[in-house]
């Protein structure tokens, strides 16, 4: 029943005509063939070699891919083009295709190649078409080979499940450099003869205006984007053109799934899978319960003794693969996802090994020992607890926490994509090991719970025997400003008294129970982000603490606290 074009013979099989759209023009098969011929002419490649392919434009990327296949080479597809990624790849590939972008094609060769056009090589099903990379649990990127047979088998499973909407243009927020994007915005459309956009879009405003350009479209996206949909756009204008929305890379929140489905009046189809396995299960969420994931056609699922998901399918190189995700089966081939069991985590749909983050940050001469963790605040993010080296401590003292963080981030960004960089840092003299010598995750987690701010920032203090003078900066984040008063925050009087007593006891060393207040005067209000002085004097014989908040504006408040 499959009407898919074989990727191994795609150039011969695909009819003439438009195959893709850039931001403002169409790309025909002839345009693409010209680029394939260019790459065929300039690449000094030989059969059996691996070449790295990175390009932001999907049509150009495709031309490189097709040229490599014609040359009998495997395309290595890195997830990004950061220097460290390139360095690592350099050891594994013959070269980088884009290094030959500026090469000129000799005229006679160009003519020769023109003649050859339309007479493309068909590759064998077991030819290793792609090599993709993903974070392994050790941190070193793991290479995964995909043959045409594997790719065709995965695409056939998708096509069996969702054979509709071949006319819809594929619009996407994901890059084809990642396997999910490669399959859903490029290879599956290719095999279906479906047109795709060559650019990756970021903002929902872009998606809206791109959608308006086509009679019908499909959106290939991720929870990162679908969870941040701009609802103030008049989506009803574009909704009739939207056939379906695909989401993968991480589970989509039910709330986000339902919202996007409602705005675009289209099914939001979620895919579960991995680079190793390709797509293996799907779901479309609905109210009111969590919808279970279902195996794709041709995929068999089972579990290990520790509830790890086991996949068996033709699209896998070894037929079976054990995932690192725990699952709970609710019926044959239907399951709910649990947590991962290794140190790999997903941040905004991107896989990262926490062990690798720790290893890389410990390379820095500023860091002695580091522990990376995932915290969930407004967004899920990487956080880091670190013991500093002597130089690290000096840097912290000299430049401050922010500059130190910046230096460390600079080092890390050679290795990790920006969204994977730690956003919160704690520098400690000693990791919070427990009595068993273990580092409990919850004690690391608590280090990132923001403390409610209840005290002023002490800029300076002078203490003599019975007197103290404190210079206090009043932070705007003080919890006492909350609701006191809405839009017009001032420091409550009772807080001033409380601070006076607290610092009095701390600095002037007296004991005694609070008894009463005397001659309390509140003369001028204290605003956020101002600096005030607090003068304290303890009268031992009377058991009274007198206090005075003052600034260059004069006295804000004064009084006496009597102790018994």
CB-based contact 538:510 (threshold 8 Å)? yes
* Residue 225 binds other proteins (CB under 8 A): yes
To other proteins, the closest distance from the beta carbon of 403 in angstroms equals 10
3-state secondary structure of 325: strand
Cα–Cα distance for residue pair 268/282, rounded to 1 Å: 10
To other proteins, the closest distance from the beta carbon of 463 in angstroms equals 28
Choose which of 90, 228, 365, 516 interacts with other proteins (CB under 8 A).
228
User: In 440-541, which residue ranges form alpha helices assigned H by DSSP?
Assistant: 441-446, 493-508
Burial of 481 (C-beta count, 10 Å sphere; 0-12/13-18/19+) = buried
The residue among 457 and 518 lying less far from other proteins, judged by its C-beta, is 457
Find the part of the chain contacting other proteins (CB under 8 A) among 131-139, 363-371, 421-429, 538-546: 421-429
* Residue 82 binds other proteins (CB under 8 A): no
* Residue 414 binds other proteins (CB under 8 A): no
Find the part of the chain contacting other proteins (CB under 8 A) among 25-33, 201-209, 361-369, 391-399: 201-209
CA-derived radius of gyration, the chain: 31
To other proteins, the closest distance from the beta carbon of 212 in angstroms equals 9
Choose which of 218, 257, 274, 405 interacts with other proteins (CB under 8 A).
405
Residue 273 token pair? 């899978």
The residue among 528 and 543 lying less far from other proteins, judged by its C-beta, is 528
Choose which of 423, 484, 498, 505 interacts with other proteins (CB under 8 A).
423
* Residue 419 binds other proteins (CB under 8 A): yes
* Residue 206 binds other proteins (CB under 8 A): yes
Closest among 408, 144, 371 to 277, alpha carbons compared: 144
Find the part of the chain contacting other proteins (CB under 8 A) among 11-19, 226-234, 252-260, 386-394: 226-234
CB-based contact 481:489 (threshold 8 Å)? yes
Cα–Cα distance for residue pair 129/126, rounded to 1 Å: 9
To other proteins, the closest distance from the beta carbon of 235 in angstroms equals 13
Closest among 485, 491, 562, 487 to 530, alpha carbons compared: 491
| Helices and strands counted in the chain (H then E) | 16, 29
* Residue 205 binds other proteins (CB under 8 A): yes
Cα–Cα distance for residue pair 262/236, rounded to 1 Å: 10
Choose which of 111, 230, 286, 462 interacts with other proteins (CB under 8 A).
230
* β-bridge partners, 61: none
CA 90 to chain centre: 26
Closest among 152, 187, 189 to 168, alpha carbons compared: 189
Find the part of the chain contacting other proteins (CB under 8 A) among 83-91, 280-288, 423-431, 491-499: 423-431
* Residue 424 binds other proteins (CB under 8 A): yes
To other proteins, the closest distance from the beta carbon of 181 in angstroms equals 14
Choose which of 14, 145, 161, 233 interacts with other proteins (CB under 8 A).
233
Cα–Cα distance for residue pair 264/289, rounded to 1 Å: 22
The residue among 203 and 514 lying less far from other proteins, judged by its C-beta, is 203
**Sheet with 50-52: strands ordered across:** 95-96, 50-52, 74-77, 128-135, 141-147
* Residue 56 binds other proteins (CB under 8 A): no
Give me the residues that bind other proteins (CB under 8 A), please.
199, 201-206, 208-210, 224-225, 228, 230, 232-233, 348, 377-379, 401-402, 405-406, 409, 413, 417-419, 421, 423-425
């Amino acid at each position: 029943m499959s009407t898919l074009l074989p990727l191994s013979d795609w150039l011969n099989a695909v009819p003439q005509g438009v195959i893709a759209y850039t931001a403002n023009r169409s790309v025909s098969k002839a345009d693409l063939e010209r680029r394939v011929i260019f790459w065929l002419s300039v690449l000094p490649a030989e059969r059996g070699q691996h070449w790295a392919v990175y390009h932001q434009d999907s049509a150009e990327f495709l031309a490189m891919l097709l040229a490599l296949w014609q040359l009998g080479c495997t395309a290595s597809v890195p997830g990004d083009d950061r220097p460290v990624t390139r360095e690592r790849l350099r050891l594994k590939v013959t070269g980088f295709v884009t290094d030959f972008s500026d090469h000129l094609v000799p005229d006679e060769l160009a003519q020769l190649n023109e003649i050859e056009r339309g007479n493309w090589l068909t590759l064998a099903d077991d030819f290793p078409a792609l090599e993709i990379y993903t974070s392994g649990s050790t941190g070193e990127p793991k290479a995964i080979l995909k043959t045409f047979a594997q790719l065709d088998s995965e695409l056939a499973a998708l096509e069996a499940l969702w054979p509709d909407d071949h006319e819809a243009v594929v619009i996407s927020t994901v890059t084809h450099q990642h396997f999910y994007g490669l399959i859903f915005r490029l290879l599956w459309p290719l095999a279906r003869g479906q047109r795709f956009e060559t650019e990756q879009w970021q903002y929902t405003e872009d998606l809206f205006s791109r959608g308006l350009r086509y009679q019908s479209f499909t959106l290939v996206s991720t929870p990162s984007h679908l969870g941040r949909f701009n609802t103030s756009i008049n989506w009803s204008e574009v909704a009739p053109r939207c056939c379906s929305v695909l989401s993968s890379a991480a589970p989509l929140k039910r709330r986000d799934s339902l919202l996007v489905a409602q705005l675009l009046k289209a099914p939001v189809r979620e895919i579960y899978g991995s680079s190793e396995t390709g797509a293996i299960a799907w779901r479309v969420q609905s109210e009111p319960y969590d919808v279970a994931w279902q195996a794709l056609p041709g995929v068999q699922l089972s579990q290990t003794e520790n509830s790890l998901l086991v996949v068996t399918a033709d699209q896998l190189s070894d037929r079976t693969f054990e995932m690192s995700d725990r699952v709970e089966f609710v019926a044959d081939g239907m399951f709910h996802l649990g947590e991962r069991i290794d140190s790999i985590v997903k941040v905004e749909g991107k896989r990262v090994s926490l062990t690798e983050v720790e290893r890389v940050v410990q390379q820095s001469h500023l860091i002695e020992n580091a522990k990376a963790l995932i915290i969930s605040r407004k967004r899920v993010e990487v956080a880091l607890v670190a013991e500093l080296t002597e130089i690290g401590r000096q840097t912290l003292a000299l430049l401050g926490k922010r500059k130190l963080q910046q230096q460390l981030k600079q080092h890390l960004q050679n290795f990790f994509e920006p969204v994977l960089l730690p956003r919160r840092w704690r520098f400690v003299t000693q990791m919070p090991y427990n009595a068993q010598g273990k580092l409990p995750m919850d004690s690391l987690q608590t280090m990132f719970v923001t403390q409610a701010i209840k005290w002023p920032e002490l800029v300076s203090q002078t203490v003599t025997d019975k007197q103290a003078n404190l210079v206090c900066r009043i932070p705007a984040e003080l919890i006492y400003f909350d609701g006191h008063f809405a839009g017009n925050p001032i420091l409550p009087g009772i807080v001033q008294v409380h601070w006076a007593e607290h610092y009095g006891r701390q600095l002037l060393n007296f004991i005694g129970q609070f008894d009463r207040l005397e001659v309390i005067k509140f003369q001028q209000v204290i605003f956020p982000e101002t600096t005030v002085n607090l003068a304290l004097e303890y009268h031992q014989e009377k058991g009274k603490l007198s206090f005075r908040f003052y600034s260059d504006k004069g006295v804000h408040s004064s009084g006496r606290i009597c102790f018994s």
